[in-house]
Structure 1
């Protein structure tokens, strides 16, 4: 059984027991959440497609940790100018969650 959910402008294909990263939710470690933006639920040959979401379907997840992505470097400069370079770093925060149950 798997489900496709929408979160933060992206779609994720999830199965029970899968770990994945969502945009930062601000939840504490060990909390349980229910994601209800379920676009599709499939169980063998039985497939339910939502328009836009499947009514009554939800994916239950448990928050494992809050993690950071690898550092991205943004470097800008102007050619032939003195002292016109800028280097910035950015690390996006994510919430690591694990799927505990799929209802639908």
Structure 2
């Protein structure tokens, strides 16, 4: 059994027991999160595809930790002009453990 969910503008293929890192979601470690944007669910040979979402489908997950992703360096340079800019960015992320897929 697996599902395709959408959160933070991205899509993830998840199964019960998986740990995924997504864009920041509100909550503390140990809190339960319900994701209702389910695009596809497959159990055995049965496949349900949403239009755009599967009705009455939901993925339950638990927040494992709140943190930040590794730093991404953004460097701009224009040759022969003396223009250089260096900037770093660390995105806030949430680690989820998938508990259950309901549909």
Q: TM-score, normalised by structure 2?
A: 0.92
Alignment of structure 1 residues 1-104 onto 2, 5 Å: 1-82=1-82, 84-104=83-103
Deviation at 1:51, TM superposition (A): 1.0
Q: TM-score, normalised by structure 1?
A: 0.91
CA distance in 1, matches of 2:55, 2:94: 26
Deviation at 1:7, TM superposition (A): 1.4
Unaligned runs of 5+ in 1: none
Local SS of the residue matching 2:56: coil
What number of residue pairs does the alignment pair up? 103
Deviation at 1:85, TM superposition (A): 2.0
